[in-house]
């Protein structure tokens, strides 16, 4: 299983720059070892609450599940009654799995998976799902952060010219200091 996890991680890393491609690879990799019908990664960041849909169908449950997860590493609800008790009854869902994810760019994050079958996630390989989802979250947040704007060529040219002129002015100031010192030496010797 460890070898397969490594292969899954490599597949995610090679998924490409588009978030849609990354989410599709994540969906396929998790679906290969754990059945689920819907899922998303929910992350609370400085930019607000972000949803990365792995497979549609959770509706607006993500934020409520993230809140219900609290500081726990895992939340697994196996029956419709448990979902109702927590106020998380979804569109036809009976099982829900939420795993806390870590990222330096999110104050709280989780992958949330849902299924219509009760006890669907009882034997789920939590560490494998968490590992793949954490990597996906980091890659998604890295690609969703705005990069520093690239300055226009004219700005670059002017910045370079300004730096050149400052260096030239500095060398001229040094020459003035040398000339003043020579003049003072000549006055002192006469």
For residue 114, the cross-strand partners are 38, 96
pLDDT of amino acid 148: 44
pLDDT of amino acid 151: 55
Contacts of residue 19, defined as CB under 8 A and 6 or more positions apart, other chains included, come to: 52, 140, 143, 144
Domain boundaries along the sequence of the chain: 2-144, 150-190
pLDDT of amino acid 59: 86
The beta strand positions in 56-153, using DSSP E, are: 74-77, 95-100, 108-115
Rounded to whole angstroms, what are the CA distances from 15 to 34, 50, 107, 132?
Answer: 20, 20, 25, 12
Contact between residue 92 and residue 114 where contact means Cβ atoms under 8 Å apart: no
Structure tokens at 42: 């929910």
pLDDT of amino acid 9: 79
Is pTM beyond 0.75 here? no
pLDDT of amino acid 91: 77
| Nearest residue to 143 via CA among 19, 13, 9 | 19
Structure tokens at 136: 């996906």
Q: 3-class DSSP state for residue 124?
A: coil
pLDDT of amino acid 155: 66
pLDDT of amino acid 134: 92
Contact between residue 140 and residue 78 where contact means Cβ atoms under 8 Å apart: no
CATH number assigned to the domain with residue range 2-144, chosen from the 4 options 1.20.140.10, 3.30.70.330, 2.120.10.30, 3.30.450.40:
3.30.450.40
DSSP for 2-56 reads: HHHHHHHHHHHHTS-S-HHHHHHHHHHHHHTTS--SEEEEEEEETTEEEEEEEES
pLDDT of amino acid 149: 47
Structure tokens at 61: 């449950």
- Tens-level pLDDT at each residue, the chain (190 residues): 567 777 877 787 777 778 898 899 999 999 999 999 999 999 999 888 999 999 998 888 889 999 999 999 999 999 989 999 988 887 788 999 999 998 888 999 999 999 999 998 988 899 999 999 999 999 898 866 544 444 566 666 777 777 778 777 888 888 888 888 888 888 877 6
pLDDT of amino acid 28: 93
Contact between residue 72 and residue 100 where contact means Cβ atoms under 8 Å apart: yes
């Amino acid at each position: 299983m460890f070898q397969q996890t490594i292969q899954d991680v490599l597949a995610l890393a090679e998924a490409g720059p588009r978030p849609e491609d990354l989410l599709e690879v994540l969906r396929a990799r998790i679906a290969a070892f754990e059945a689920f019908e819907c899922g998303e990664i929910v992350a609370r960041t400085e930019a607000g609450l972000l949803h990365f849909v792995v497979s549609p169908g959770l509706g607006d449950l993500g934020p409520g599940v993230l809140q219900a997860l609290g500081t726990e590493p895992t939340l697994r609800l196996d029956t419709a009654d448990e979902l109702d008790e927590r106020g998380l009854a979804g569109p036809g869902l009976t099982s829900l799995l939420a795993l806390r994810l870590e990222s330096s760019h999110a104050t709280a994050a989780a992958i949330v998976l849902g299924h219509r079958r009760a006890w669907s996630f009882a034997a789920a390989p939590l560490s494998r799902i968490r590992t793949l989802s954490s990597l996906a979250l980091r890659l998604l947040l890295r690609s969703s952060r705005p990069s520093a704007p690239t300055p226009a060529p004219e700005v670059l040219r002017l910045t370079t010219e300004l730096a050149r002129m400052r260096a030239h002015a500095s060398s001229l100031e040094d020459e003035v200091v040398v000339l003043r010192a020579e003049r003072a030496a000549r006055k002192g010797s006469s």
